[in-house]
Amino acid sequence: MSDNEKKTGFKWFEKLKKIKHIEIYIAIIFIVILLLIYMSNFTGSKSDNNDSNTDTLTVTAYIDRLESNLEETLSNIGGVSDVKVMITLNMAEAEVADSQISLNKFPEIKGVIVTAKGVNDTATKLKVLHAVEAVIDIRNGNIEILSSE
């Protein structure tokens, strides 16, 4: 370090020492820096949640997706039309935070009700029942198939 650099550093240090209550200024600067770091982490986590919509779904969006997929599949069965599906979940076991559940922690499906035209025939009703059992892993006692005719 040259003499000129030492003098400049020393002058700067002398000016700093002359400031009254420098501890207060340093503490305020430190607090502002901490607040900025905290706020950047807070807003950063919000954007991460928005970017990870593929990883989380609201409970209602999850049920709606299941119901619409099942309705579409069942309406492709011969003789079955005007299909409506209602799915209930066992929310007692679900880990829900802010009405969102993780994709790998979906609550267990408790029951399914299917209403459709054309299920008066026993063979068609069994086809619908077996299709629901194949898509959703629940006992057939928790599946109800009703005619909407």
> In sequence order, what DSSP letters do the residues of 6-38 get, joined into one string?
HHHHHHHHHHHHHSTTHHHHHHHHHHHHHHHHH
N-term to C-term CA, the chain: 95
Find the helix or strand (DSSP H, E) in which 145 lies. strand 143-147
Range of the domain at 9: 3-51
- 3-class state of residue 99 by DSSP: coil
User: Residues 138, 68: one domain?
Assistant: yes
| pTM score | 0.54
- 3-class state of residue 21 by DSSP: coil
User: Residues 44, 63: one domain?
Assistant: no
- Per-residue pLDDT tens digits for 106-135: 677 889 999 998 888 888 888 888 888 888
- Per-residue pLDDT tens digits for 61-87: 878 888 898 888 888 888 888 899 998
Domain total in the chain: 2
